[in-house]
Structure 1
Amino acid sequence: MTPGDLPAMLDDLEELVLCESFSADLDAVAASAEVVAALGARHLGARPETIVVDGVAHLRWSFGAPRVLLLGHHDTVWPIGSLRERPWSVTDGVARGPGVFDMKAGLVQMFHALGSLASLDGVCVLVNGDEELGSGTSRALIEQNARACSASLVLEASGNGGALKTARKGTSNYRVTAHGVAAHAGLEPEKGANAGVELAHQILAIAAMTDPTGRATTVTPTLISGGSSGNTVPALAAVTVDVRVTDQAAQDTVDAGMRALTPRLAGTRLEVTGGPNRPPMAASSSAALFSLAGRVAEELGLGPLSGVAVGGASDGNFSAGAGCPTLDGLGAVGGGAHAADEHLIVDEMPRRAALLAGLVEALLKGRT
């Protein structure tokens, strides 16, 4: 059996897209988990284990002793009601709708791929419900399952042109808060300690941690807030910082730099919270799997594969960080993740499902 029934795949995809699953809405995530569980059961012949951690619903299918881990997520960044503005549609070979690319099509392709295999012995499927929030409640589950497997395949959307994702940057997130002293900005500003000015100094120091080329380490001040009124010396100001790195040493260096920030103005103090979130997924983690995927694609007549290193992180960072060889970007082909033009090239769905099925089968047979 081959996973090539496009009309059936689109029916399944429509079912998932119409069940909105905004990460921050736990009721919506729970409802989505039920829909995904039922869809998976139809294709895999078994209901998953539902694992609820801090109110977030995750799903796990296990078949025998696990050797190959497939990772996906059913939550999206789209608030409930987004379907009214971006309804499900398929026009001229392009499907649209909230989460269609990131990553509900990947789940459909995965279920169809696995459903086409003669045996699932050795397969573990983990679909979490909080990936878009950083996988805070599912990280331990991902790492636990990854340590038990010899390969991890991630159904996140592909890179440009269908490229598989062979490396991902690690991520860290910080919040730097400057504490000062409030005072009347007109009558006696000298009695204050300006948290806003202090934060400005820190923002420049933080931005200077970025690699000058902007390709390796990026340290980016993002959300900035502060002050209480237009005529008051601000007693509080804060900035959120997004960090992306290519290796663990860089992540450690930035963390040390963030912890070493010191106040510049008398009367102010700094508070630094947060830290590393996802470890880097190095190219070495995916090299053997990418090579095998290329051979499988050639055997199936799917053409040559391309790979790309990306700045965005996924749960593949966790599986790779746990020591499990990991290949990412095996999901949908399209574009516009998290954006108004999110879309999917529907003709690629059977091709990607066939590639995944061939790759899983090769790994279960011990090919390297």
Structure 2
Amino acid sequence: MSLTLTEHIESGLPELLRLLEISVNMDSPSKSKEAGDAMADWYAALFPRLTGGRVTRIPHPAAGDRLLCEVGEGARQILLVGHYDTVWPPGEAGRRPFRIENGNAYGPGVYDMKAGLLQAMFALKALRDTGRFPADKKVLLLINSDEEIGSPTSRGLIEEAARQSAAAFVLEPPMEPSGALKTSRKGSGRFKLTVKGISAHAGVNPQNGVSAIQELACQIQRLHAMTDYERGTTVNVGVIRGGIGSNVVADHAEADIDVRVATMEEAMRIEAAIAGLTPLLPGAEISVSGGMTRPPMERSEAIASLYELARGIAAAELALTLEETATGGVSDGNFTAAVGTPTLDGLGARGDHAHSPLEYVRIAEIPARTVLLARLIESC
């Protein structure tokens, strides 16, 4: 008697956990090409063995190589997007290796997002092994190497793949505590405000100076006043630098600024407002660099329809109540949605504490989330 999709995925859980341990115990920080390429080697060898698919490696001279992993020959392409890079430095896997405790799996990158990548591969394996892989579809799993630092080398690759796809499913973790899928994300920007003043002795002739720090303090007030919670806009000065000593009127100061917006219209408005800042103190000069780095993922009718499909599958086949939510965090789903591809985010592993030494994955939840992804691939 042949196994059902759910039975097949449940039976493969021990193998998934074995592979999860291997992957978590491999360091893959975003800025280490050597470690990234080793991680890419591992996934490139694993994907064909699990799925029968093929892998195209996209090299990069400085970042870890990216992988385009394909299954199927159909005309309708479904895009899965994930990343193997983590926020953890070299040596982190040795300091706190993979472990299982009280039904949870722990280790650097286990939740964000090495479990999600394996769930995707096992979903594709199950569709193939049960004879359910749709003949009219091709699935492209794009494995990114630098998502945690904004996908600077991978954005174009992601956008190109998304434009050729009927739908995109992003393997980031869902939103806890309910495991909700993400149907909208804010866009983000990174700016630097640099102030030039005139130095002077703070005790002898301070009147001859123009304090860059004072000017920066005035500009910080302007920047924070741009926050508008009703519009979903936040502007935050998170880091400031300036001066060389308390007895010197500072001739230089700068600030790093984070911006989050809910719509492209708001992104353009805030970008123009920051670029249009002018000095308040006579003799001070200011300049702005940077800009919006990720467009917002706006909830469209097509995204809503994808969510309703997922919600229906979860309710009818998995006895799950699947919610949707919006978040201020960003992912590669911002890029896929912004080019017009219907996108569902949060289809990775359930757990908690991303970017924390406490991060973990709930092992018991892995099969259901893997089945959900497989059924979405089959149905969309």
What range describes the TM-score normalised by the shorter chain of this pair?
A: over 0.9
Match of 1:242 in 2: 258
Alignment of 1:312-323 (within 5 A): 312-323=329-340
Alignment of 1:210-359 (within 5 A): 210-212=227-229, 216-284=232-300, 285-359=302-376
Match of 1:30 in 2: 37
Opposite residue 70 of structure 1, the aligned amino acid is L
Opposite residue 296 of structure 2, the aligned amino acid is P
Task: Report the Cα distance in structure 2 between the residues aligned to 1:189 and 1:27, rounded to whole angstroms.
Answer: 52
Match of 1:53 in 2: 60
Opposite residue 52 of structure 1, the aligned amino acid is P
Task: Report the Cα distance in structure 2 between the residues aligned to 1:208 and 1:140, rounded to whole angstroms.
Answer: 34
SS in 1 for 2:321: coil
Contact 2:318–2:368 (Cα < 8 Å) also in 1: no
Match of 2:187 in 1: 170
Quote the offset at 1:231 in angstroms: 2.2
Quote the offset at 1:34 in angstroms: 1.1
Quote the offset at 1:111 in angstroms: 0.5
Distance 1:166 1:189, change over 3 A: same
Quote the offset at 1:47 in angstroms: 4.0
- Cα deviation code 1:108-128 (max 9, x no counterpart): 100000111133741111011
Q: Which of the numbers 170, 174, 179 marks the counterpart of 1:158?
A: 174
Q: Which of the numbers 99, 105, 126 marks the counterpart of 2:142?
A: 126
Task: Report the Cα distance in structure 2 between the residues aligned to 1:39 and 1:235, rounded to whole angstroms.
Answer: 56
Percent identity between the two aligned chains: 44
Q: Which of the numbers 91, 113, 132 marks the counterpart of 1:103?
A: 113
Quote the offset at 1:61 in angstroms: 1.7
- Cα deviation code 1:159-207 (max 9, x no counterpart): 0121111111111110111111222222222222211111001111000
Bigger mean CA deviation after superposition, 313-322 or 186-195 = 186-195
Unmatched 5+ stretches in structure 1: 364-368
Contact 1:175–1:241 (Cα < 8 Å) also in 2: yes
Quote the offset at 1:46 in angstroms: 3.3
Contact 1:38–1:47 (Cα < 8 Å) also in 2: no
Contact 2:119–2:348 (Cα < 8 Å) also in 1: yes
Match of 2:87 in 1: 77
- Cα deviation code 1:277-318 (max 9, x no counterpart): 111111225211111111222332241211111110100000
Unmatched 5+ stretches in structure 2: none
Contact 1:156–1:331 (Cα < 8 Å) also in 2: yes
- Cα deviation code 1:133-184 (max 9, x no counterpart): 1011111101101001110000001101211111111111101111112222
Opposite residue 97 of structure 1, the aligned amino acid is G
Opposite residue 20 of structure 1, the aligned amino acid is D
SS in 2 for 1:187: coil
Opposite residue 125 of structure 1, the aligned amino acid is L
Task: Report the Cα distance in structure 2 between the residues aligned to 1:68 and 1:77, rounded to whole angstroms.
Answer: 28
Contact 1:66–1:124 (Cα < 8 Å) also in 2: no
Quote the offset at 1:274 in angstroms: 0.6
Distance 1:28 1:66, change over 3 A: farther
Q: Does 1:92 align with 2:108?
A: no
Quote the offset at 1:271 in angstroms: 1.1
- Cα deviation code 1:16-72 (max 9, x no counterpart): 101111111121111111112222222122341111234221100234345210000
Contact 1:17–1:97 (Cα < 8 Å) also in 2: yes
Task: Report the Cα distance in structure 2 between the residues aligned to 1:98 and 1:349, rounded to whole angstroms.
Answer: 18
Task: Report the Cα distance in structure 1 between the residues aligned to 2:220 and 2:347, rounded to whole angstroms.
Answer: 38
SS in 2 for 1:271: strand
Match of 1:146 in 2: 162
Task: Report the Cα distance in structure 2 between the residues aligned to 1:67 and 1:76, rounded to whole angstroms.
Answer: 27
Quote the offset at 1:86 in angstroms: 3.0
Contact 1:180–1:195 (Cα < 8 Å) also in 2: yes
Quote the offset at 1:224 in angstroms: 1.1
Task: Report the Cα distance in structure 2 between the residues aligned to 1:26 and 1:233, rounded to whole angstroms.
Answer: 43
Opposite residue 228 of structure 1, the aligned amino acid is I
Bigger mean CA deviation after superposition, 301-310 or 236-245 = 301-310
TM-score, length basis structure 1: 0.95
Q: Does 1:16 align with 2:16?
A: no
SS in 1 for 2:367: helix
TM-score, length basis structure 2: 0.92
Task: Report the Cα distance in structure 2 between the residues aligned to 1:313 and 1:16, rounded to whole angstroms.
Answer: 24
Contact 1:68–1:149 (Cα < 8 Å) also in 2: yes
SS in 2 for 1:116: helix
